[in-house]
Amino acid sequence: MPKVVVLSKEVADKIAAGEVVDRPASIVKELVENSIDAGATRVEVELEDGGKRRITVTDNGCGMLLEDAVVALERHATSKIRAADDLFSVRTLGFRGEALPSIAAVSHLRIQTRAVGQDTGVEVTVDQGGIAAAEQRGVPQGTQVTVTHLFSNVPARLKFLKTTQTELSHIVDLMVRFALSYPGIHFKLAHNSRMLFQSPGSGDPLNTVVAAYGREVAKEMLPVATPEEAPVAVRGYTSRPSVTRTSRSHQAFFVNGRLVRSPMLSRALDEAYKGYVPAGRYPVACLFIDVDPAQVDVNVHPTKMEVRFASEREVFAAAVSALRRTLVGVNLAQPAFPTRVEQSIEAQTLPDDPFSDPDQRPADPGEAAPAPRGVREPAVSVPYSPTVRPPLPPASRSVEKAPEWHLNPAETQPALGLEEAAREPAREEAPPAVVPAADAPSAPPAETAALPNLTPVARVLDTYLICEGPDAVYIIDQHAAHERIIYDALLRREENDIAPQPLLIPLTLNLSHSDAAALESHR
C-alpha cells in the first residue's frame, strides 16, 4: 500500500484555511479588504462574542451577480488579476482568491449581494465549504457577508481562540488601522449591539487620527512628507517625542495603501527618534509608503501582511530622512501645551538678574535659533522636601505656589568621584546578627531625608528636569517622579484606611478604542 496519498478536498481546504484564518480578526480583515476593493464608501462590521459567534460585514460597493458570487467561493477565483505578471502591478488589497473559500471551509457562510444596475440581488449559503443554497433575493446594493459558528468543524483550532476581550481588541485595532489608511471611507464597528468605533469618513486624515487616537494625541502629531520628486514617497503623521507609548501598538505602517507589518519600518522609526525618546518608549506614528508596485513583492504570505522591497535600503533611508526632517523642524524642547509643572516654575518670581542691564548682558550668537543647552533663563531655588513646602523668593509680582516634588533621596544622591572614593576610608561592617523571625522587632519606617535645595535649570524633551545642587547636577525623570508621588499617596491612603468617595464632578477620560472596548466588556 503506498504511503503517499492525495488528501481529500475537505482536508486540503481546512489546511489551507489555517494559513488565512486563524482568529476572528483574520476574517474581518479579508472581508473588509474585499469591501474596499469593491469601491465601498461605507463599511459596517457587527460582532457577537468577539466574533466567535457571529461576524457580519456590510458595504455599499459594486456587488456581485449570481454567477460571480458562486464562482468566488472556488479556491483561487478572483477578479483582481489575470496573469502572473499582474502580481507586480497589483494595487488592490486582495488578489489570491483564497479568502472566501478559506472562511467557508471553517464556518457557516451567507452572502447577500446586489450588483450595480440590478433590480434584485442574490443570497448564497455555504455550510462547511459546500454551497447549500443559491437564490435571488431583494437586498440593497452592495454586499453583506455573515459568518457564524467559526471553527465549529475544527475543534482543535477553536480551543486556541483567546478570550472574547482579547479577540475583540484585535478587531478594534484592525478597524482603527483601516480607518487611518482610508480616511474617505466611513467605518463602523459594533459589538453585541454596542457601537465601539466609527470613523468620520470625511477624507481628512487628521480627523481620522482624532477618531483613532483621541484629540489629545492628535494635537501632538506632526505631519510627515517627502518632496514630490522623491522615488519613495513617505507621508503620514508622527508624534512629538513627548508623546510615547510602552509598546509599538500605536504604530501603523501602510505600503501602497496596504496594512503591513514591517520590522524595517519599525527600525526606521527607532533610528529617527534616537536621542529624542528614552529607551523602551515608542512614538505614535501612522506612516504611508508609496512606491512603484513593481518594486515591492506583496505575495510573501497568504495573509498579505508581509512585503518585500526590491531596495530596502532606499526605503529605510527615505523613511528616516522624512522623519528627521519633521523632528528637526519643530521646537522639541518646548511642547505646544506646557505642563502644570512648567507653568508653575515660570510663574514664580525670578531672582535679580545679574545681566538685567542690556549693556551688561553678554551677546547671544544664536539669538534667532532655538536656545542651546548651555543657555538658560534665570531659575528659582526650590527645596526638595516631602513634607515642607518651599518658601517663595521675594515677589515683584503675583505668583503661583512652587511645585512640590517628592523624590526618593536614595535614587538621587550624587556618587563619589574617583579621587574622593580613593580617600574614603574603608568601612568595616559587622555581619548582621541572626534573629529568629518570631523575636524580630518590626522596624519603624525610615525617615525620608530631605534633599538639598535644587535650582531648576531646564527641561529636556518634556521628560527630564535638569537641576543644580550645592555639589552636583541632578537629572530627574519628571514622569517617574510623578509616578512616585502617586505611589506614595496610595500607600498613605492604604495606611490611613481612607474610604474612597465618588467625585463631585465626573472626570472625563480619553481612552484608546482598545481600552474603551475593554472597559465596555466589563460594564
Q: Which domains does the chain have, with CATH numbers?
A: 1-202 (3.30.565.10), 214-332 (3.30.230.10), 338-348+378-393+449-498 (no CATH)
Q: Residue 199's closest CA among 520, 518, 513?
A: 513
Q: Residue 188's closest CA among 392, 355, 336, 46?
A: 46
Return the pLDDT at 285. Answer: 96
pLDDT truncated to tens, each residue of the chain (523 aa)?
A: 788 888 887 888 777 777 788 999 999 999 999 999 999 999 999 999 999 999 999 999 999 999 999 999 998 888 888 888 887 788 888 888 888 999 999 999 999 999 999 999 999 999 877 888 899 999 999 999 999 999 988 888 888 899 998 999 999 999 999 999 999 999 999 999 999 999 999 999 889 998 888 888 999 999 999 887 888 999 999 999 999 999 998 999 999 999 999 999 999 999 999 989 998 999 999 999 999 998 998 878 877 888 999 999 999 999 999 999 999 877 654 443 344 433 443 443 334 443 344 444 444 444 444 444 444 444 444 444 444 444 444 444 444 444 444 444 444 444 444 444 444 444 444 454 444 444 444 444 445 556 678 888 888 888 888 988 888 888 888 888 889 889 988 888 777 766 667 888 888 877 777 677 667 666 6
Which residue is associated with the grid cell 519599525? 266
Residue 447 DSSP symbol: P
pTM of this structure: 0.66
Give the gyration radius of the chain's Cα atoms.
Answer: 31
| Spatial separation of the C-alpha atoms in residues 26 and 264, rounded to whole Å | 23
Q: Can you point out the beta strands (E) in 39-78? A: 42-48, 54-59
Residue pair 95/77 in contact (Cβ under 8 Å)? The answer is no
Phi-psi group of 275: left, alpha or beta (phi > 0 → left; psi -120 to 50 → alpha; rest → beta): left
CA 437 to chain centre: 48
Mutual angle of helices 513-521 and 164-181, in 10-degree steps: 150
Q: Can you point out the beta strands (E) in 298-413? A: 308-309, 382-383
Which residue is associated with the grid cell 454551497? 131
Residue pair 56/144 in contact (Cβ under 8 Å)? The answer is yes
Which residue is associated with the grid cell 527630564? 464
Query: Reduced to 3 states, what is the DSSP secondary structure of residue 254?
Result: strand
